[in-house]
Amino acid sequence: MKALVKTRPQIGLELKEVPTPEPGPDEVRIHIMKSSICGTDLHIYDWDNWASHNINPPLTIGHEYVGTIDKVGSNVHDYSPGDLVSGEGHIVCGLCRNCLAGRRHLCRDTLGVGINRPGSFAEYLIIPVANVWPCDSKIPLELLTCFDPLGNATHASLSFNVIGEDVLITGAGPIGLMAASIVRHIGARHVVITDPNPYRVELAKNMGVSVAINPMEQTLKDTMNYLGMKEGFDVGLEMSGNPDALQSIVENMSHGGKVALLGLLPDTTTTAWNKVIFHGLTIKGIYGREMFETWYKMTTMLQSGLDISKVVTHQMNYKDYADGFDLMRSGQCGKVILDWEKI
């Protein structure tokens, strides 16, 4: 089969012929239809410091996808060839305290599809049947392939009650944009999103936010005055991994406000901890998706009218993958999707 492989510790990927994998007794083989490029994939493509410490070439990468089941293992009885599916990219141990308690998203020994084992930038992918998610065929394929990042956005957005609340989102990348649509969909009052990238600010304006601003050009204080807000934001969602963005959240939260951190901040990040304490802020770290409550919620939200279609800005054949990674690096895009149906 054809696959995009990180063959050696250097910049780039190679499109190669590799053996078609066979599913084990408790696994399924998925024929990939579409697979989208994640920021993690860009780290691996560019072979940055994180990638050099976490990736062992050769490796087929990619972990955001949709496809049809092609073959099932001997112990698989709930799925059949032809079923439309996606899958949870975190493969858990099943034995630690959190796994045994049903908190699989907190597993201490998680393996990542496309990070620790072969991924979805290929014609076929093998995953455990326990990680399979059945897809609603009425949902467009280009949205189904985004279920992994949509799950991150859903996990963060549903961590706190946002109904009637004012929400600040820092970072208008794909996950931040999806989060903006989610909190608006479920009833937030004002939704403000910030990003220094003009392209993404314009993209955010089409996602139903109250205000999208470039923090280099407009202050949050002025934005709150414009919206008639008196006491700060009730919920903050940090999606950028930028220390200045975290500081802007802490400085502009209402007393008792709640903050979800999904962006990966540098270890040296500091903030106004006295405000966190004296203003009674709650801070929650977000990683991955709750299995599988998050998957259920994002499916039902899409079925009930959630619109994230504008986040998908580019689709191309997998053979043009280098162009897709160039787009990702430029920041002049939302989600970039590779089509594997035309081999």
Active site residues: 40, 43
CB atoms within 10 A of CB 157: 30
CA Rg, the chain, in Å? 20
Residue 275 gets the label, from left (phi > 0), alpha (psi -120 to 50) or beta, of: alpha
20, two tokens: 């078609």
CB 187 within 8 A of CB 163: yes
Specify the 3-state DSSP secondary structure of 17: strand
**Any residues with CB less than 8 A from the CB of 273 and at least 6 apart, and which?**
none
Instruction: Report whether 107 contacts 98 (CB < 8 A).
Output: yes
81/79 Cα distance (integer angstroms): 7
The alpha-helical segments, DSSP class H, found in the chain are 39-46, 49-54, 97-100, 141-144, 147-157, 174-185, 198-205, 220-227, 243-251, 273-278, 293-303, 321-330
CB 311 within 8 A of CB 298: no
Kindly give the interhelix angle for 174-185 and 198-205, rounded to the nearest 10 degrees. 20
Which of 88, 92, 81, 98 is CA-nearest to residue 28? 81
